[in-house]
Amino acid sequence: MADVSRRPGRLGVGVIGAGRVGAVLGSALRATGHAVVGASGISEASRERIETLLPGVPVLEVPEVARRAELALLAVPDDVLPTLVSGLAEVGAWQAGQLVVHTSGRFGTSVLEPARAAGAIPLAIHPAMTFTGTSLDLSRLEGTTFAVTAPAPVQPIGQALVVEIGGEPVVVDEDARGLYHAALAHGANHLVVLVAQATQALAAAGVEQPGRVLAPLLAAALDGATRTADVGSGGGPGAIAALTGPVSRGDVGTVEEHLAVLEDLAVASGATDVPASYRELSRGATRRALASGRIDARQAQDILDVLEER
């Protein structure tokens, strides 16, 4: 294997925010030959990640990390990012020609304006993946999509960084970042909520290992939905083609029975979010099943009538 440390174009990387994302991406960049010159971490967990994933890297104050870095990697919570960028500008930490990269899905590069005004090069690079903050994430970066937002002249730099660590870059316009991030959060975060709700219902039904029951079913459903999702981007049926179950068949009686037992669960356990989620998502499934021709207008109306709270 070639000695990556001798490859041209290597940069001194500063990791600002050694959380689950920052420490992993810093480690991935280090593995391609970039030198991590410093990292910041306030919590004990962050410092442990630096020790584990970035051994030998000095733990420094945030302004010092920024001053040392040719590439400053900002991996902090969304709500913290604007204040961090402007605060570092106020103390003169940003430098002309420095790459300033943030990993927030919500923001594009406008949030980096204080750094850009100081001559830095702004990049927004967001991985569409959940992180554990361990070395397990490093192999999962391979093939992961990263949303790249940057001024056109420097867009190739962001794309190259993504490719270097094994990811697949996709360009997302500045004004589309909010919608992009909402789509990811809605899909991934709410999937976790649905699994938790289904697990609770199965446990109440006497199933001892709900996760084991759900795993193959949900894996098959997710695989089918994502395999057909791109078809829908051009106006076709898309992911809804993978829909199964009572709504897709127009089985009104089954939907009614589901609501009855889920309402009983809510009364017994206080899990009022379960029937509420079932109703709302079944309404969405009904409308999409109707639009794709899976059910007719009469069947759709019958299901929607049953889903009305009484």
Are 53 and 79 in contact, with CB atoms under 8 Å apart?
A: no
Pull the structure tokens for residue 284: 């969405």
Matching residue, tokens 């702004």:
122
Q: Cα 296–300–301 angle (5° rounding)?
A: 120
Note the pLDDT of residue 85: 98
Provide the 8-state DSSP code for 59.
B
List of the chain residues with pLDDT < 50: 1-6, 235
Note the pLDDT of residue 231: 66
Note the pLDDT of residue 149: 98
Note the pLDDT of residue 235: 47
Q: Which fold has domain 4-172?
A: Rossmann fold (3.40.50)
Q: For the chain, what are the domain ranges?
A: 4-172, 179-307
Where are the alpha helices (H) located in 147-176, listed in sequence order?
155-164
pLDDT digits (tens, 9 = 90+) for 21-79: 999 999 999 999 999 999 999 899 999 999 999 999 999 999 999 999 999 999 999 99
